């Protein structure tokens, strides 16, 4: 039992070190001039019933799954209820940073009733925002 715990601690320590290293050497991928992401659905100011149907639009670039190294591509991230995104880091995976690394362009979001802000940020193959960032304005919706 003690040996298994030691192995787990070592594995978690190694994973934390790899994540810290990735954060320290983050390089942002260039984005083409004029590229933009936008919400097709929902619209800014909409009142919707949950779960929220989200359709993501992209112009001037293509969608590719995370891990795919193809110039002029990225994948969507929906930022929920955050004022600011760290543009120089790998996007965390949590309730505020929803990842669509398989190349999805629509989803259903489970959000509690109330007002919420949503923003799209395109990430490169490593979940890092492009340079310059390809991000939408924040929209506000109300979930009933």
Q: Indicate the average pLDDT of the chain.
A: 89
Bigger pLDDT: 5 vs 90 = 90
Q: How many domains does the chain have?
A: 1
Report the CATH number at residue 82. 2.60.40
Half-sphere exposure of 46 (CA within 13 A, CB side): 15
The string of pLDDT tens digits covering residues 29-88 is 999 999 999 999 999 999 999 999 999 999 999 999 999 999 999 999 999 999 999 999
State the average pLDDT over residues 79-108: 96
Share of the chain above pLDDT 90, in %: 81
pTM for this model (two decimals): 0.81
In this structure, the strands spanning 52-59 and 36-41 are: antiparallel
Say if residue 6's pLDDT is above 90: no
pLDDT at 11: 46
Residue 9 belongs to domain spanning? 2-143
Q: What residues contact 101, with CB distance under 8 A and at least 6 apart? A: 65, 66, 67, 75, 127
């Amino acid at each position: 039992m003690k040996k298994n715990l030691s192995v787990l601690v070592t594995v978690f320590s190694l994973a934390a070190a790899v994540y810290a290293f990735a954060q320290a050497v983050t390089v942002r991928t260039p984005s083409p001039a004029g590229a933009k992401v936008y919400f097709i659905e929902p619209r800014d100011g909409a009142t919707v019933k949950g779960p929220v149907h989200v359709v993501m639009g992209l112009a001037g670039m293509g969608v590719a799954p995370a891990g795919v190294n193809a110039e002029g591509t990225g994948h969507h991230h929906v930022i929920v209820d955050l004022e600011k995104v760290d543009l120089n880091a790998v996007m965390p995976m949590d309730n505020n940073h929803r990842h669509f690394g398989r190349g999805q362009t629509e989803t259903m979001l489970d959000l509690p009733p109330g007002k919420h802000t949503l923003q799209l940020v395109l990430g490169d193959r490593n979940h890092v925002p492009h340079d310059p960032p390809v991000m939408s304005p924040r929209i506000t919706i109300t979930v009933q």
